[in-house]
Amino acid sequence: MSENAIIEIEDVSKSFGSVTALSGVDAIIREGEFFSLLGPSGCGKTTLLRLIAGFDEPTGGTVSIAGEPMAGKPANMRPTNMVFQSYAIFPHLSVGENVGYGLKKKKMSRQEIADEVTRALAMVDLAGYGDRAAHELSGGQRQRVALARALVMKPKVVLLDEPLSALDKKLREQMQIELRQLQKQIGITFILVTHDQEEALIMSDRIAVLFEGEIAQLDTPEALYRRPVNKRVASFIGVMNFMPATVTASSDTAMSVNIPSLGQVDLRADQLPEGLNPAAVDTIGVRPEMLTILFDESETAEREAPGEVTSASYCGDMTYYSVLLAQADEPVTISMRNTTGRSILTPGTQVRVGWGHESVVLFD
């Protein structure tokens, strides 16, 4: 993956009548990366994708692709191709005709088109399906045809609008991995729109999280999960326990935080989100897997806090406990892997909860 920008989005806003869909969005998408636009429905992620594709024009700001501003260029003039949420397979054309649809506009011989179509179909594991009618395809096959139809155009960027949302869970998980592998293999930039945080984490090199028409955070999946910039991002991606806290001392290299329900902890500066104002910190967050229930006396942790199990939800490989810490008003969620020797604790059990300075994320 190179560091060259393929798409530059500068101060882009879009409104439909009085409704603002996007405001002041800035982002740079790098050549060859798998980039995701993640957010709840209505956050503007699809709008942004459509602005890149050229189906809509921004109300303000510019979108540039490969260094060229796209203003005024309709979709048919842009080096992007889209995989639609509904797949938009032309129902009156065969699979092969669908894939070759866009090639007809390029100056290519019949034979060249046929070869390209065959190659594209092979790429998505649909070799030999060229003569099938569109309505004979299953959901997963339609998705592959839509992808082949975009890839055959050799676009600079492939845009995917929730391409997996219509598939069932098993198939979706399989396609997530396949899509990711295919993208790495051919090296074309993919931009994926999704509302499924897990899907975004699995597939992407980088993710932009959008809320209400603005990018809340643009980061790698790991950074997004480990160091969310605010509470909203934190609770949108995975589960986060929030607890009140105050900063008792801070320097350039470290920060002391008092968490009434857990205790006192010192945090290193590199663990803190950029631009955090120590004075404004009033909350910390802890992921459920960053807390442990210490099952017997021999188990220890960096720090410990007493608590009582209030409920347990058994999920097969994991059990999710609600634990009320001694100094807290509300229970926290703790996830525990059900490895051998661990029984399910019943509500009322007194436990020791283990944690450490790496468990904690600060929020202002």
Partner 1 sequence: MNVTRFLSRNWLVSYAVVYMVLLYLPALLLPLFAFNSSTIIAFPLKGFTLEWFGVLIETKALHKAVQNSLIIALITSAISTLLGILGARAIVRFRFPLKRGIVGLIMVPLILPEIIVGVSLLVLLMQIGISLSIWTVIAGHVLICLPFSVAILSSAFQGLDPSLEEASMDLGETRFGTFRRVIFPLILPGIISSMLITFTISLDEFIIAFFLTGTDVTLPVYIWGQMRFPAKLPSIMALGTILLLLSIFLLVLGELFRRRSARRQGKSTSPTGGLV
Interface ranges with partner 1 (CB under 8 A):
53-55, 74-76, 80-82, 84-86, 88, 90-92, 101-102, 105-106, 134-135, 149, 153
Q: Which is nearer to partner 1, 193 or 293 (CB)?
A: 193
CB of 122 to partner 1, least distance (A): 20
Cβ-based neighbour number of residue 167 at 10 Å = 18
Q: Which ranges in 187-228 belong to alpha helices (H)?
A: 197-203, 221-226
Q: Which is nearer to partner 1, 135 or 169 (CB)?
A: 135
Q: Which is nearer to partner 1, 42 or 102 (CB)?
A: 102
Q: Which is nearer to partner 1, 101 or 320 (CB)?
A: 101
CB of 39 to partner 1, least distance (A): 21
Q: Which is nearer to partner 1, 45 or 149 (CB)?
A: 149
CB of 133 to partner 1, least distance (A): 10
Structure tokens at 343: 């029984």
Paired residues of 361 in beta bridges: 285
Q: Which is nearer to partner 1, 55 or 314 (CB)?
A: 55
Q: Which is nearer to partner 1, 103 or 224 (CB)?
A: 103
Contact 188, 151 (CB under 8 A): yes
Q: Which is nearer to partner 1, 102 or 288 (CB)?
A: 102
CB of 161 to partner 1, least distance (A): 9
CB of 90 to partner 1, least distance (A): 6
CB of 206 to partner 1, least distance (A): 24
CB of 184 to partner 1, least distance (A): 24
CB of 75 to partner 1, least distance (A): 4
